[in-house]
Structure 1
Amino acid sequence: MWYNDLRPDSELVNDKYSLIMLERDDNYSRMLDDDAKKRTISNLLKLRQGLFENIPKKTVDSNLLLCSWNIKNFGTLKDRTAESLFYIAEIINAFDIVAIQEINRDLSDFKKVMKVLGSHWKYTISDVTEGNSGNDERFGFIYDSRRVTHSGLSGEIVIAPESVADDAILKQLKRTPTFTGFESGWQNFSIVSVHLQPGKTDANKAIRKEEVRLLMDVLNTKLASAAFHNRNMIILGDTNLYANDDDIVDLITQHDFVESDALAGQFTNTSLNQIYDRLFLNVDPYFKIATDDFGNEQGGVFNLFDYIYLNSPTEIATYHQLMLLHKDDPSNLIDDASFTSYYNSYWKRNQMSDHLPIWLELQTESSDEFLRWELGKF
């Protein structure tokens, strides 16, 4: 991580050229004053402690930490502070591969985060899905090149026109999923990142179900034609699946995709009442999710709001002036109650996201499993 922007000006006499958080539209002035620097440093220490307590350590040649995170309108929301970009980078830094949904056309904030992460962090990114239904969104994978390699496989899932009926409710998925390959240790695998149709109405559910049906038809074809060692596939992302969407989940699991026990049923939105973000695996027997000493799969949801942007009067008060500055019409921010409501409903979600990161720890050293599997063939 590159924390140079958090240093006092007195330490940067000869290093100002290396600053990242600069206001391009204000003669490249610094985005962080001294109060913001102190607050960011203090909160980073709390966030790092939370990541240390909840996310496994990266170990050489034995594990891989996979994360999926919908970062709300990443590029469209123009009032994200440099402070928040540091927190986003710190969370990404705790993992090895992070699949990100809702990256928008403007990549200014995305590039700032990449610079904070450091030069060993690389990324692949798709173009935006054009049209109103695409919502100006693209998909990205950010990965630690010291621990994982991009296999060279990268593309988008496009539905062949001849496979769709003339009267179908849609011809393509609303937001074109990405299909990307990675290698780490023993493991070769591909990841499909999705952002499915939201909404609880019957019409929205019908679209979401058709999106999954079309997607699974394409993926089954790919799995059937893939070389043996490339058949490990993971579907992840913001699925927008609701409690009554079991029939849609069945469209995935009936094709040998399994949801990790570590993530099944866990709330993944900021309000902690929906299981939007999911992860399904269709993998070989020696492709393993790491387990703890009791045999439980290692994975979960990281609630970043337990460590930053806390829902406390003291914490909220520190952001009063920024909320007044950034809100289009601040006239209704008149008392503590109105500030608290806006802070929890909009401010902290626009600074970070309305989704929480989900993660799994994968085992990348599978010699024993592989040898036992091969022995069983004789």
Structure 2
Amino acid sequence: MAQKFSDVEWLEIEAHLDAALAQDPEAYGLPERRDGSVILMSWNIRKFGAVADRDGPKKSPGATRMIERIAAQADLLSIQEQQDDTGALDALVAALNPNYGVIYSDVTGRSPGYKGMSERFAYLFRHDRVRLGHLASDLSYDRTAIAANMNEALKASFDTSVPGQDDPGYLEQLMTWVQNTTRLMGSQFSKFVQFIRSPYLVEFRIDGPDGQYEIYAVNAHLVSGKKTEREQEFFALLEWLLHDSRKTVSERGKIIMIMGDLNLDFDSSNEDRRLGIENYVTGINAKRRLDAKVNFPFLDGAFNTNARRTQTYDHIAWLADDTRLPRGRHNALAGTLGPDQFDYGMFDFTQLFMDAGPGLLPDGTPDYARFAHDLSDHMPIWVRLPRPNAGQHRFTV
């Protein structure tokens, strides 16, 4: 059974955080709620599902209080690893206040009779700041596209697995390949076929005193397998959204907001990732004459979003032609333009647990076993935007 902080240790952690927040309202990167701005947050809450099972509570009371405390800072919270059982999510909504609403997807990532990496995607939102729109849908490829992707994947598998006809082992290896490809369950193709877990798109409207952001929020938890699989799913998602942006962004004036765990680990550094994404988007925009501009601010910030603080897996990013939103060249200005202006960050609970004491091992390193399962192995990330208003025509410095 995974270790947990004791009740006394959780009280020590909470007291330490209270004291830190009294000195700095955004200590450890926990965003402060303000009247003139909205907080958009994304968090992979590890195995967030049932309140309890036969062995007792799934998460300790202290971890549950911390989840409630973090969620209460968000106007819109995108949750990954929401399990089939929504008991803990329902309890979270009830514990906050009547202003909060919730919407979540059906279970994705599995089929009847087959094992899979299944979960739901959920959004928690404040009714007084955020309104649910008309659209909620999975993102997936149609049958024709899947068939084409499958054919391409099978061809690539054949080319790498079966020798030429002149090879003496050709027939034997051909039969082996045919037999293996008839058992598709668990097959690992070298080409993208379909998302393992279909991303979930929901329309939200964020109201201000006399303005509005119209957002298509995309909650995603991309595959965590091999490096090539991560690349394929990420770029498939990006291309899907860029393709849709001609109508969604250009014609309807919507903002596509990616809020999820993208498992983005296909290069050695954030700088390499950022340049790779920029080059990819520039190529697609030039080829298809798209207007959407893409910003992945967490590739510019020094944020390692997993609890071990080694990778930038989690992202809030946007595809937009809305001049009120900052573009990539503005990311360095985050947090410098005023208390209700553009900013972004991460609640570093690993550092909190170490500083409070219970999360620190004798050798001075984090005691991940005490909190990675009980709370989460990912940190919450957030973006602050000014509440929309009539005079807000362009992002200005």
Q: TM-score, normalised by structure 2?
A: 0.68
Aligned letter for 1:249?
I
Matches of residues 196-207 of structure 1 in structure 2 within 5 Å? 196-199=222-225, 204-207=226-229
Matches of residues 275-290 of structure 1 in structure 2 within 5 Å? 275-289=312-326
Aligned letter for 1:198?
S
Cα distance in structure 2, aligned partners of 1:294 and 1:198: 37
Tell me: higher relative CO, structure 1 or 2? Use CA pairs within 8 A at least 6 residues apart. Answer: 2
* Alpha-carbon contact 1:159-1:214 (below 8 Å) kept: no
Distance 1:311 1:208, change over 3 A: same
Cα distance in structure 1, aligned partners of 2:139 and 2:304: 27
* Alpha-carbon contact 2:71-2:77 (below 8 Å) kept: yes
Q: Which moved more, 1:79-88 or 1:129-138?
A: 129-138
Cα distance in structure 1, aligned partners of 2:343 and 2:198: 30
Matches of residues 35-50 of structure 1 in structure 2 within 5 Å? 42=15, 45-46=18-19, 49=22
What is the aligned partner in structure 2 of residue 154 from structure 1?
136
Q: Which moved more, 1:81-90 or 1:244-253?
A: 244-253
Aligned letter for 1:115?
A
Cα distance in structure 1, aligned partners of 2:392 and 2:355: 46
Q: CA deviation at 1:297?
A: 4.2
Q: CA deviation at 1:86?
A: 0.9
Q: Which moved more, 1:36-45 or 1:74-83?
A: 36-45
SS at match of 2:303: coil
User: Residue deviations 1:79-123, cap 9 Å, x none?
Assistant: 411221111011011111111111111222222222211221111
Check if 1:350 corresponds to 2:350.
no
Q: CA deviation at 1:369?
A: 3.9
The size of the alignment, in residue pairs, is 314
Q: CA deviation at 1:351?
A: 1.6
Q: CA deviation at 1:360?
A: 0.7
Check if 1:232 corresponds to 2:255.
yes
Q: CA deviation at 1:365?
A: 2.4
SS at match of 1:305: helix
Cα distance in structure 1, aligned partners of 2:26 and 2:395: 34
User: Residue deviations 1:35-72, cap 9 Å, x none?
Assistant: 68966864673586576444554344x42111111111
Distance 1:220 1:38, change over 3 A: closer
What is the aligned partner in structure 2 of residue 9 from structure 1?
none
What is the aligned partner in structure 2 of residue 173 from structure 1?
195
What is the aligned partner in structure 2 of residue 195 from structure 1?
221
SS at match of 1:274: coil
What is the aligned partner in structure 1 of residue 121 from structure 2?
139
What is the aligned partner in structure 2 of residue 331 from structure 1?
none
Matches of residues 67-216 of structure 1 in structure 2 within 5 Å? 67-75=41-49, 79-131=58-110, 134-164=116-146, 165=148, 166-168=151-153, 169-185=191-207, 186-199=212-225, 204-216=226-238
Unaligned runs of 5+ in 2: 1-5, 154-190, 286-292, 327-332
* Alpha-carbon contact 1:262-1:299 (below 8 Å) kept: no
* Alpha-carbon contact 1:101-1:237 (below 8 Å) kept: yes
Cα distance in structure 2, aligned partners of 1:262 and 1:195: 17
SS at match of 2:372: helix
Check if 1:65 corresponds to 2:39.
yes
Aligned letter for 1:161?
R
Cα distance in structure 2, aligned partners of 1:300 and 1:197: 24
Check if 1:266 corresponds to 2:251.
no
Cα distance in structure 1, aligned partners of 2:276 and 2:85: 33
Matches of residues 329-340 of structure 1 in structure 2 within 5 Å? none
Distance 1:159 1:303, change over 3 A: same
Cα distance in structure 2, aligned partners of 1:337 and 1:38: 21
* Alpha-carbon contact 1:301-1:358 (below 8 Å) kept: yes
Aligned letter for 1:346?
A
Aligned letter for 1:272?
R
* Alpha-carbon contact 2:41-2:259 (below 8 Å) kept: no
Cα distance in structure 1, aligned partners of 2:276 and 2:395: 36
Report sequence identity in percent. Answer: 21
Cα distance in structure 2, aligned partners of 1:261 and 1:136: 27
SS at match of 1:116: helix
Q: CA deviation at 1:160?
A: 1.2
Aligned letter for 1:90?
R
What is the aligned partner in structure 2 of residue 363 from structure 1?
386
Aligned letter for 1:283?
A
What is the aligned partner in structure 2 of residue 257 from structure 1?
294
* Alpha-carbon contact 1:311-1:344 (below 8 Å) kept: no
* Alpha-carbon contact 2:253-2:321 (below 8 Å) kept: no
Aligned letter for 1:167?
E
SS at match of 2:354: coil
Cα distance in structure 1, aligned partners of 2:133 and 2:280: 25
* Alpha-carbon contact 2:41-2:77 (below 8 Å) kept: yes
Unaligned runs of 5+ in 1: 1-32, 318-335, 374-378
Cα distance in structure 1, aligned partners of 2:227 and 2:8: 47
* Alpha-carbon contact 1:120-1:145 (below 8 Å) kept: yes
Aligned letter for 2:277?
V
